[in-house]
Amino acid sequence: MATTLKSLKVLYLFLSIVAFSFFFYAFVYKQSCIFCRPIQSKNIIPEVVLSKGKGIIFMETTDRMELPSLVLCALESAARVYHDRPVAFFMKGLTNISSQNDMNRIRQSFPTLSSFNNVYFFPLRMQDLFNNTPLHPWYMKVDPKLEKYWTHVSSDGCRYAFIWKYGGIYMDTDVISIRPIMDENFVAAEFSQISGSAVFGMSPRNYFTWNCLKNFVQNYKGEVWGYQGPSLLTRVLKELCDLPKFQAAEDIKCESISFLNPQRFYPISYPSWQKYFQVWKTWPTFSSSYGLHLWNFMNRAGHKTVVPGSNTLVDHLYQQYCPTTYRTLLRNEITHH
């Protein structure tokens, strides 16, 4: 009898260890990958997908539905680097997305992204987005036809509203992600004492983002390029603290906001943007960077694109950080159905 009880105790201990190991694995490894599988919900809406305030947010403020390879690369690289977080792409030309079937249908429209279950597509409705923010009265009065830079100005407003509402990280669609950002509340410098607006991140309902929304309306100059974007973020930062010059590769703390060194996203500054499309003798490591801004606006006249096999820097970046997009280009296949 004693032998039987002893055997049962040993068996119980063994099964307990197996059960503990299973649940430990599930918690540690699966928990961090919650967004690697589709969210199981009857309604696939931003309020559900982005509810944790950890999303990566992209947007398209024109009606364009056929995406250039750089946009696809930006989305793919973010989906890979932030595999444990939702990547949300808001598109003005997209119709309603409210169910898993809708989401699957639009994912299949972009074959290079269809395998990434943490990528979500949503319609961009500016009036709804701006509701209950300082931008709503401005949006109801402004005439887009009279705005010199409407696409860019409206994009500036949307990014502040998105991050105010949902939190997370905003990225322009010409930013290639190479490693995850550790900071939650941050703005990235283009140069010493000058902020960029291609990438920034905040917690939901952060006071800094609210100040950006107020400043947008109070100091609106839509006819001045960049005034509602990089200049605005610089203005709001300087309201909080004096911005010293960067001495090396360090970041600066401005109250609760990290002001990231230019090396983090702009190691190649806009006057040198063409270097991305040149052949280098030695590849830069970008070891101090979280991502790379490819300055698509500067490229609007030349329309330089990645040429597979050209051995340019951008060719190298595509191979490394968005290989699915690259393989599709290499096979000369379409990237949108």
In this structure, how many other beta carbons lie within 10 angstroms of the beta carbon of residue 24?
A: 10
**Tokens read off for 306:** 């990645």
Q: Where are the domains of the chain?
A: 46-264
What CATH fold (topology level) applies to the domain 46-264? Spore Coat Polysaccharide Biosynthesis Protein SpsA; Chain A (3.90.550)
**Tokens read off for 128:** 């709804």
pLDDT on residue 26: 38
**Tokens read off for 127:** 């009036």
Nearest to 120 by CA among 75, 165, 172, 60: 75
When pLDDT is averaged across residues 224-253 and rounded to a whole number, the result is 94
pLDDT on residue 98: 73
pLDDT at 3 over 90: no
Please tell me the distance from the alpha carbon of residue 175 to that of residue 325, in angstroms, as a whole number: 15
The DSSP letter of residue 19 is H
When pLDDT is averaged across residues 318-327 and rounded to a whole number, the result is 97
First to last CA, the chain: 71
Position with higher pLDDT, 26 vs 162: 162
**Within a 13 Å sphere around the CA of 27, how many CA atoms are in the beta-carbon half?**
6
* Segment 266-316, tens digit of pLDDT: 999 999 999 999 999 999 999 999 999 999 888 877 778 899 999 999 999
pTM of this prediction? Answer: 0.86
* Segment 173-226, tens digit of pLDDT: 999 999 999 999 999 999 999 999 999 999 999 999 999 999 999 999 999 999
pLDDT on residue 336: 56
Runs of H (alpha helix) within the chain: 2-25, 46-49, 69-81, 100-108, 126-130, 135-141, 150-166, 207-218, 230-240, 313-321, 323-330
Please tell me the distance from the alpha carbon of residue 81 to that of residue 181, in angstroms, as a whole number: 9
